[in-house]
């Protein structure tokens, strides 16, 4: 088999067809650079040029979709590159009803659209790229604070639903605008489909309906990735979401790659443990774990990656090892 293009390789992997090699993609945050669209675009493209992955996940700070509602955050040295929220604009349940629809072309959302257009110009169709979209419940958490979200969900459900409606519609409008920038899909980050946080009944009421509306806005795109964050995830509950790829912390929580392929019809993305292997391990250990993942899946319907964002302290030698691990022969 001759060498496939990145898009053809990914499409074949999603369909379960033969590939010249398994696709691979790692992604990271760029703290500091993620505060300006030009710098984030430049850093994202440079990372891709260095490692030559099969797709690019654009990773803005999670606050990109919340700043125009009043959220504030800062980077305090987190080794994943994520920022800490310093201002939560939702202080009382009544504040949910004060949220207003945001213009995707203005403010922080507009800046992120500018970043996408810059990335599209640089990649020139060579590499598919996808935009990170935090699901409405995750956005709500960052507006009110992680500790207070369960309180509002259980004691002020109608107010929270009012806020989720505005968040969902704003997100759908942003995705429509991002299509015009040439995204191949969205990286749909779900943070609360974990049994230690909510019950399935609670997630069915406050997560799933809004998730599906956002994913409906992404239909027609061919590389939509569902990311299930955390441990003890509600994999079966979300396995039917209309996406082509699912990504989760497979080396840290159920299901295994093999179990997931039995439950999900598209491609599974994972195989590498972030901290013990990609950060603290050696290139040899990275290659060993990648080889194990390829054996588990038979290299079919599989994309090699980490279960979540690659920490910014990961050695470059280990990232190069992950990229090289999929080369057959």
* pLDDT at res. 33: 98
pLDDT tens profile 189-202: 999 999 999 999 99
- For domain 6-324, the CATH class is alpha beta
The answer for residues whose C-beta is within 8 angstroms of residue 183's C-beta and 6 or more apart is 116, 129, 130, 131, 221
CA distances from 295 to 22, 228, 264, 298 (A): 11, 23, 18, 5
**CA-CA distance, 26 to 269, in Å (whole number)?**
10
Q: Which helix (H) or strand (E) holds 187?
A: strand 185-190
pLDDT tens profile 97-144: 999 999 999 999 999 999 999 999 999 999 999 999 999 999 999 999
**CA-CA distance, 41 to 238, in Å (whole number)?**
31
| Average pLDDT score over residue span 174-178 | 98
* pLDDT at res. 1: 83
Helix (H, G, I), strand (E, B) or coil at 246: strand
DSSP structure class, residue 311: P
**CA-CA distance, 8 to 22, in Å (whole number)?**
12
pLDDT tens profile 255-291: 999 999 999 999 999 999 999 999 999 999 999 999 9
Helical H runs in the chain? 6-15, 37-51, 107-123, 136-144, 149-155, 157-179, 200-206, 208-217, 235-238, 257-263, 283-297, 316-324
Residue 329 has pLDDT above 80, yes or no: no
Helix (H, G, I), strand (E, B) or coil at 9: helix
**CA-CA distance, 272 to 269, in Å (whole number)?**
9
pLDDT tens profile 75-102: 999 999 999 999 999 999 999 999 999 9
* pLDDT at res. 111: 98
Task: Give the model's confidence band at 213: pLDDT under 50 very low, under 70 low, under 90 confident, else very high.
Answer: very high
pLDDT tens profile 20-74: 999 999 999 999 999 999 999 999 999 999 999 999 999 999 999 999 999 999 9
As to burial, measured by CB atoms within 10 angstroms (0-12 exposed, 13-18 middle, 19+ buried), residue 256 is: middle
Domain ranges within the chain, ordered by starting residue: 6-324
As to burial, measured by CB atoms within 10 angstroms (0-12 exposed, 13-18 middle, 19+ buried), residue 218 is: buried
* pLDDT at res. 262: 98
Q: What pairing do the DSSP bridges indicate for beta strands 72-74 and 84-87? A: antiparallel
* pLDDT at res. 328: 75
């Amino acid at each position: 088999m001759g060498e496939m293009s990145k898009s053809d390789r990914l499409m074949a992997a999603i369909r379960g067809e033969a590939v010249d090699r398994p696709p691979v993609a790692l992604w990271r945050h760029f703290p500091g650079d993620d505060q300006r669209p030009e710098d984030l675009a430049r850093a994202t493209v440079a990372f891709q040029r260095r490692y030559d992955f099969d797709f690019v996940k654009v990773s803005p700070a999670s606050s990109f979709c919340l700043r125009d509602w009043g959220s504030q955050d800062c980077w305090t040295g987190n080794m994943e590159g994520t920022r800490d929220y310093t201002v939560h604009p939702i202080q009382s349940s009544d504040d949910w009803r004060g949220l207003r629809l945001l213009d995707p072309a203005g403010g922080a959302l507009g800046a992120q659209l500018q970043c996408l257009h810059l990335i599209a110009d640089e990649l020139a169709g060579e590499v598919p790229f996808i935009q990170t979209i935090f699901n409405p419940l995750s956005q709500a958490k960052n507006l009110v604070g992680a500790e207070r979200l369960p309180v509002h969900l259980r004691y002020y459900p109608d107010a929270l639903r009012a806020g989720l409606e505005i968040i969902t519609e704003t997100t759908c409008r942003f995705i429509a605008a991002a299509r015009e920038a040439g995204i191949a899909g969205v990286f749909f980050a779900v943070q609360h489909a974990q049994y230690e946080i909510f019950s399935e009944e609670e997630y069915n009421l406050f997560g799933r309906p809004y998730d599906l509306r956002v994913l409906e806005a992404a239909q027609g795109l061919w590389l939509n990735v569902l990311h299930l964050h955390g441990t003890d995830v509600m994999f079966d509950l979300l396995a039917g979401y209309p996406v082509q790829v699912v990504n989760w912390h497979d080396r840290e929580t159920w299901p295994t790659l093999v179990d997931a392929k039995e439950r999900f019809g598209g491609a599974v993305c994972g195989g590498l443990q972030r901290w013990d292997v990609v950060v603290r391990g050696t290139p040899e250990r990275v290659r060993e774990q990648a080889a194990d993942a390829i054996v588990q899946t038979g290299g079919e319907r599989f994309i090699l990656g980490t279960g979540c964002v690659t920490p910014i302290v990961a050695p470059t030698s280990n990232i190069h090892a992950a990229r090289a691990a999929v080369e057959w022969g």
